[in-house]
Chains A and B, each alone.
Chain A
Amino acid sequence: MGFNIESYLPDRTKNNIIFFYKGNVDSDVINQILDEVEYKMIQENDRSKLRKKVYNVLVESLQNLYHHVDKVPEDYEDQTSEKFGILLVKKVDKGYKIITGNFIKADNVEKLEEKIKKINQSSCEEIRELYKFILNHQKISEKGGGGLGLVDIARKTGNKLIYTFKEYNDKYSFFYLDILVSEEN
C-alpha cells in the first residue's frame, strides 16, 4: 500500500470543488491557478470583498508552497516536480475552503507547528501587531519568503489555521493546511 496524499485530504468530498491541482508549483502554474479561480469566483457572483480575501489567501498559500516546500522523498512517485504541492479550492457555505499540502522534512515539523500554534493562540489584535513586527524587523530569507505568509492568512481570514501532519516515513511528513475564508470576517 502506497502513501496516497489525496486520501488524507481533510475534506475530499467531491461536492463544490472549484479547483484541484497536484504537481509542480512554479510561477506559471501559480498564474494559471489564480486566473482560473478568479474567473470562477466572478462567475459565481461573489461579492468583491470575499473575492479579494480569497484571492489574497490563495496568493499567499501558493507562494508559501513556492518558497518553502521541501523536495519530495526519494521513493515518491513524482520525482520530476521540484516544488511539489497540492491545492484544493472548495465552495462552502458563505465562503471558500483553500487546502494545500506539501512534503516537509521531519526535522522541520516542530518549527512549523510552533509557528502555527503561536498564531492560533493570538487574538486578532496580537496577529496584527505580530504582522507589523515581522514586516519591520525581519529580512526576506534566501528562499525568498518574508516569513509573513501564514500570519497574513490568519489575519485576513480571522480564522484559526487548521493543519495536520501525516507521517510518510521516518524522514518525511506530509503537511496539510486547511484554510476557511468566509464572508463574515
Chain B
Amino acid sequence: MEPIKIEGTPKTPTVRFDSSAGVFEIRGRSIPENSVEFYKPIVDWLDSYKENPLPKTIVNIRLEYFNTSSSKCILDVFKKLEAIHKAKNDVEVHWYYEEDDEDMLEAGEDYESIIRVPFKMIEIVE
C-alpha cells in the first residue's frame, strides 16, 4: 500500500499513514472550511488498510486546533480504526494535549466515550 504523506498548512494537518510502520500520525491544525474533502483520502486509505492491517497499529493525534467540521471527519477516521480493532487487531489511539489545554483533553475523552478503541491521553509538558 502506498503510504499517505501530506504536508501541513496553516489550516490542515500533517498526515503520515504508512502501513509498513504501524505508527500513524495526524498533527498540527485542522481548521479547513471543507474538511470532508481533506479527510476523504485518509478514510478511504483506512478502508483498504482494514483488509490487511498490521497486528498492532498506533495512531498519534497531536492537534493544536481543530474545528467542528473536522471533528466529524476525525470521528470517521476513528470509526475505521474501531472496525480494525473489532476484527481482533491491536489498535491504540494516543491523544496528545498541551498541559493547560483542558478543551483538547475533553475532546479526546469525548471520542474515547464514543469509539470502542483504547485511548491513551498524553500530556505535552513544555
A residues contacting B by CB (< 8 A) are 27, 30-31, 34-35, 47-49, 52-53, 55-56, 59-60, 63, 66-67, 128, 131-132, 135-136, 140, 144-146, 148-149, 151-152, 156
Contact = CB atoms under 8 A, between A and B. Distances in A.
B2 interface: no
26 contacts: A31-B11, A34-B31, A49-B100, A49-B101, A52-B65, A52-B101, A53-B103, A56-B65, A56-B67, A56-B103, A59-B65, A59-B67, A60-B68, A63-B31, A63-B33, A63-B68, A132-B110, A135-B75, A136-B114, A140-B72, A144-B34, A145-B69, A146-B72, A148-B69, A148-B71, A149-B68
B72 A135 contact: yes
Interface residues of B, number: 22
A59 B31 contact: yes
A148 to B, nearest CB: 4
Interface of B: 10-11, 31, 33-34, 36, 64-65, 67-69, 71-72, 75, 98, 100-101, 103, 106, 110, 113-114
Given A59-B67, A135-B75, A144-B69, A48 B98 contact: yes
Contacts, number: 66
Contacts of B98: 48
B71 A135 contact: yes
A4 to B, nearest CB: 29
Dominant SS among interface residues on chain A: helix
B40 to A, nearest CB: 12
A135 B110 contact: yes
Interface centre among B31, B98, B106, B114 (most CB of A within 10 A): B31
Contacts of B67: 56, 59-60, 63
Contact of B33 (A27, A35, A55): A27
